[in-house]
Homo-oligomer: A and B are copies of this chain.
């Protein structure tokens, strides 16, 4: 199947958009000078720079970032993978990341696994195909193929939300410890019959870690630490259901430690509607410190997680690494704060 060289001219494909070459011609410089005028202006004389910028303006030139990325083998994309957009927690982390990265000219590529580990692998493959400068992912647990891909990758990897054995960089908090903290608080307030209620803790395994801490404290006091998982991550509705189920399965219960504020607030509002006294008849605690919980009556007892800070710090750490500077810490504990409300 040997072909003869084609001597006729082919039809061109390009669009009507002006290219850097045209800008350079208009400015009377070579294209590399035009490139430098835009990307590293300090390496070009003031005169040349001015003429290039003027030509850019006049022609309405918009740099083709795809071509630039191919040529430089780097894209100024930051891949961000979260398990859910429905959860305000991740939104705030994303916001913190976005602010910090965009200020440095990086663009976030957002991926949402919807708590499906398979999706993570797919997303990472796609993102690698975009020559991302770094990857930020929520959590430390990854599927086998995922780990293989990640370990073969040369760019910074930042795992956020929880602290632990990370692949590379790590910013988060100790969820087990947060669980312990709230369990201790509930004991201090005199509650003994305490149920931990989560939703989809197989997926939201950080809720499981908090339960582990919770149980450790209760069992340390010789108390039972029953756990109720009402299936699939959910919101206020799920909280209401959680309250009902907990009361049904555990009569004589004094307090419920919910896996998060959505559940806890849902339960609290439901208790109100049912006429149950909180914390008189049942104490309720949450986790996250969402604004919502601080506006209900009684105010929700919960643990404040510094979500925006996680995003900002993670971004700063990644940027420092990308700039080639030494990383202050590979691991960063952002801590948490117990918010003592009126619900416990």
Footprint of B on A, CB under 8 Å? 13-15, 60, 62-67, 69-70, 73, 75, 85-86, 88, 91, 94-95, 98, 107-110, 112, 125-126, 128-131, 149, 152, 154, 235-237, 240, 265-266, 269-270, 272-273, 291-292, 295-297
Taking A66-B130, A70-B67, A110-B110 as contacts, is the C-beta distance between A60 and B152 under 8 angstroms?
A: yes
Contact across chains for A62 and B128 when beta carbons are under 8 A apart: yes
Q: How far is the CA of A311 from the CA of B242 in the complex (A)?
A: 31
Q: Are B240 and A269 in contact (CB under 8 A)?
A: no
B297 touches A63 (CB 8 A): no
Find A291's partner among B109, B130, B236 (CB 8 Å cutoff): B236
Copies in the complex: 2
Q: Which of the residues B112, B128, B269 comes within 8 Å of A296, measured between beta carbons?
A: B269
Is the Cβ of B70 less than 8 Å from the Cβ of A98?
no
CA distance A154 to B128 in the complex (A): 28
A177 CB to closest chain B CB, in angstroms? 29
A126 to B88, CA, bound (A): 27
Given A66-B131, A75-B66, A85-B98, answer yes or no on A237-B291 (Cβ-Cβ < 8 Å): yes
Q: How far is the CA of A291 from the CA of B234 in the complex (A)?
A: 12
Tell me, in angstroms, the Cα distance from A320 to B252 when the chains sit together: 58
Given known contacts A110-B108, A269-B296, A70 and B66 CB-to-CB distance under 8 angstroms: yes
Contact of A63 among B60, B63, B88, B129 (CB under 8 A): B129
- B95 close to A295 (CB less than 8 A): no
Complex-state Cα separation, A91 to B107, whole angstroms: 18
Partner of A73, one of B13, B149, B237: B13
Least CB distance, A297 to chain B, in whole angstroms: 5
Q: Among B14, B129, B296, which residue has its beta carbon within 8 angstroms of that of A65? A: B129
Chain A to chain B contacts (Cβ below 8 Å), 18 pairs: A14-B73, A62-B128, A62-B149, A64-B129, A65-B130, A66-B69, A66-B131, A67-B70, A70-B70, A88-B88, A107-B109, A107-B126, A235-B291, A236-B292, A237-B295, A266-B295, A270-B295, A273-B297
In addition to A240-B295, A269-B296, 6 A-B residue pairs with Cβ atoms within 8 Å of each other are A66-B130, A98-B112, A110-B110, A235-B291, A236-B295, A292-B292
What 8 A-B pairs are tightest by C-beta distance, nearest first? Answer: A65-B129, A236-B295, A269-B295, A66-B69, A66-B70, A273-B297, A62-B128, A110-B110
Assess whether A109 is in contact with B112, with CB atoms less than 8 Å apart: no
B-side contacts of A272, CB under 8 Å: 297
